[in-house]
Structure 1
Amino acid sequence: MANKSNLSGCFNIFNRNGLAWYVDKYAISASLHPVLPEKDMPIYPFPPGKIGIFTRLFDYCNYRLPLTKFLIDVLLVHKVHLSQVNPFDLAKVCHFDLCCRGLGSDPDLDMFRAFYRLNRSGSWFTFEVRNKNSYCYSWITTNLKDWKDRFFWVDDRYVPAEMTWRLKRSVCDPD
């Protein structure tokens, strides 16, 4: 059995009907050429010209393609790839973005970094709360059963080339 904490051990159980449902429900453009990986292929390494997308990015984190500029900015400043961040933490980015907009301002990267810092959790990365007494939300779910085994690939052209894959030995910069 594959080690589920390691991205190279995340194998897809998603089927064509599931992919068709996501493409339709979340209006994923056919021009992004969404495809299912073979059953024995892990999410990473990606095939040339593709990027892996976990389905929870849509139905839990409320993102769509193309990604928001704020999410891309957060990932670039932290030098972490979209597919390496736990969905809970991508939801934190979305929630912060929505809270800022709800208060009538654009989301601010420096403000986000005042609340959160990048942290490694096994093979995944998280946005950890900097100060346990200061956070942007009062509750967030902590269980996403089987989220690592539902993914597909799309063309990587909507992701900046600077968004590189962090190697396991890389450390998070203290900030």
Structure 2
Amino acid sequence: MSRKDRSIIYSVVAREDPQVFVSTYHIPSDLSPCLLGPSDPEICSLERMVIYTPSFSLCRVCYPISSFKRDYLKHYGVPFSQVQPLAFLRIVHFELTSVAFVGAPSVPLFLCFYRLRADGDWFTFEKRKDWKNKFIFICSVMLPEPLRSRDPSTTIQVEAPLVSTANDPLWKLLCENRTCAFNFYKGILAMGGLNPLSLCHPKVILDRASISMVLIAGRC
């Protein structure tokens, strides 16, 4: 599928699927989730935004959107609908790993590890499978500050901050305990406090050995 021309991409989500999606991921009805007609393309505005269903089903984004994700999008001036779903996989992974080391994920710290890049009409960290025609529409109040679409052709000039400007102890722990980004099990997200629907948010303190066991368990 083309990396360009967002305005001519049509959703392949079946008419009955939006209800299953919003029920599964607890998208509130006041966000007005809907699927437009077969000839209605992905056209966003400040009142209406696209959410790609794989961002939730594959990458474990949860509603309400975490403050770190909101800060990250605001920092780059990129709306939710212009971020490739699999880019969120790395964001969720970073959030969970930071919490596992009893740290707080922050944009400066994230910039020490990742760099945003344009990929056609979207922004991502790496290229994966097709997801561009799997979307529904919801009210843009899902995020407190809706952003206009960003022109992917503009130069991205964001330098990685000096380590001293971030959380030094957490930066060191993340560097010394590298893990791979993958689809986390819901229970693992609850342990990190990243699943707002979970009634239990146990605090976890992991060392080098136990974090590997927990992350491996997340693949089950």
Superposition TM-score, scaled by structure 2 size: 0.66
From 147, 150, 153, give the equivalent of 1:163: 147
Provide the rounded CA distance (Å) in 1 between the counterparts of 2:111 and 2:136: 30
Query: Cα RMSD over matched residues?
Result: 1.9
Provide the rounded CA distance (Å) in 1 between the counterparts of 2:56 and 2:151: 25
What are the residue-to-residue correspondences of 1:28-47 with 2, within 5 Å? 28-46=27-45
Provide the rounded CA distance (Å) in 1 between the counterparts of 2:128 and 2:73: 23
SS, match of residue 124 in structure 2: strand
* Residue 162 of structure 1: how far off its partner (Å): 5.5
Provide the rounded CA distance (Å) in 1 between the counterparts of 2:13 and 2:53: 9
Change (3 A) 1:162 1:152: closer
Residues 121-163 of structure 1, C-alpha deviations (whole Å, 9 max, x = no match) = 22221136xxxxxxxxxxxxx6434x11111111111223352
From 153, 156, 160, give the equivalent of 2:137: 153
Q: Which residue of 1 aligns with 2:86?
A: 88
Provide the rounded CA distance (Å) in 2 between the counterparts of 1:162 and 1:12: 22
What are the residue-to-residue correspondences of 1:1-175 with 2, within 5 Å? 4-6=2-4, 7-46=6-45, 49-127=47-125, 143-145=128-130, 147-161=131-145, 163-175=147-159
Question: 8 Å contact 2:117–2:156 — kept in the other structure?
Answer: yes
Provide the rounded CA distance (Å) in 2 between the counterparts of 1:42 and 1:173: 31
SS, match of residue 52 in structure 1: strand
Residues 50-84 of structure 1, C-alpha deviations (whole Å, 9 max, x = no match) = 11111011101101222111011111111111111
Superposition TM-score, scaled by structure 1 size: 0.82
Structure 1 gaps, min length 5:
129-141
SS, match of residue 116 in structure 1: coil
SS, match of residue 149 in structure 1: coil
Question: Which amino acid counterpart does residue 144 of structure 1 have in structure 2?
Answer: K
SS, match of residue 148 in structure 1: coil
Question: 8 Å contact 1:53–1:151 — kept in the other structure?
Answer: yes
Question: 8 Å contact 2:55–2:86 — kept in the other structure?
Answer: no
Between the two proteins, the alignment pairs up a number of residues equal to 158
SS, match of residue 16 in structure 1: coil
Provide the rounded CA distance (Å) in 2 between the counterparts of 1:162 and 1:67: 13
Question: Which amino acid counterpart does residue 170 of structure 1 have in structure 2?
Answer: T
Provide the rounded CA distance (Å) in 1 between the counterparts of 2:10 and 2:44: 12
Structure 2 gaps, min length 5:
160-220
* Residue 10 of structure 1: how far off its partner (Å): 1.7
Which protein has the larger Cα radius of gyration, Structure 1 or Structure 2?
Answer: 2
Write 1 or 2 for the structure with the bigger share of strand: 1
Provide the rounded CA distance (Å) in 1 between the counterparts of 2:54 and 2:133: 10
Structure with more contact order per residue of length (Cα contacts < 8 Å, sep ≥ 6): 1
